[in-house]
Amino acid sequence: MKNIHLPRFKNPTTQYGATLVELLVGITIGLMTIAVAASALMISRGVSGTVTDASQIQQQASYIFRIIGQQLRQAGSMRLDLAANKGPADPIDAADVVAFTPDISLHSLTASTPPISGKDSPTASEYKLSVAYQNYAEPSFTSASSVSFFRDCLANAPNLPVAPLEQNIIQSQFVVQSEEFRCNGTGVGSQALARNIADFQVNYLRQTDSSTGTPKIQTVNATTIGTAWNTVYGADVCIVLYGDERIDMPAGSSYTGCDGTAVNMSSTGTLPANRKNRLHMTFRTTYQLRSQGLTG
């Protein structure tokens, strides 16, 4: 009888390990996957940090310019008298004369407190930009008597010890100290409104040669203005803010400052250590004064 050889089947419970080569290949693939994921995460983290930084800087700049604009647009403002031909207690009619008529001479007001003034290089007790305007009363549905709706740069309503109300002055003063943008209100002291301020510059638009019939507008600094603040028509405000996120910037990376020059913000630049490799953004806005270059 012939021997019959039956096929052999492997025991299903038998386990076989990976070879050393297979193990090394698996580890290599795993490490490559982790490296790619980590690289993508770092890139995403850097982009996210930069975007967040830029957003925060833009929000701070918007807030600063909104506060400055609220004050500058009212510089030298006067009460609008709806019945200039009548007394304060007389009823107002549609045919009455409407005029800007402050209770005191605005010229005498500007002699003591100009609607706008400033210092190019303020000392510890001075301010880069000062804005003033009259605090006058207006009729209101919420009060039986006229009230003032004016607020200084800190949203405070100053005390009104002098009567009539129009003889009171609201003044807001702005300066940068210790890289903080600070505002000094009327009798309430100085408070910080924003941080990470790299630069704050103000130039002024003034009218010249008005006697010749061909007035010209010049942009000058506070030193050039001297004491002739009644010739100022507007203010050009520039501010530079920097972010919190440290960024690996190529050597020579720069931003354009308020004076129009390029400033190196990489590690090779001359900026202070806390500002190197940080995002810098420059913002500029021009405001027109309501007083329109007061003369007198």
Give the whole-number percent of the chain exceeding pLDDT 70.
Answer: 78
Amino acid sitting at position 96? D
pLDDT above 50 for 100 = yes
C-beta atoms surrounding 228 within 10 Å: 14
Residue 291 contacts by C-beta under 8 Å, 6 or more apart in sequence?
75, 76, 77, 106, 115, 116
Instruction: Give per-residue pLDDT as tens, 170-210.
Output: 889 999 999 999 999 876 778 999 999 999 999 999 877 66
Report the candidate in 218, 238, 224 with the shortest Cα–Cα distance to residue 293: 218
Q: How far is CA 138 from CA 78, 82, 170, 246, in A?
A: 12, 11, 16, 51
User: What pLDDT, on a 0 to 100 scale, did the predictor assign at position 104?
Assistant: 40
pTM confidence score: 0.73
In whole angstroms, give the CA distance from residue 296 to residue 289: 16
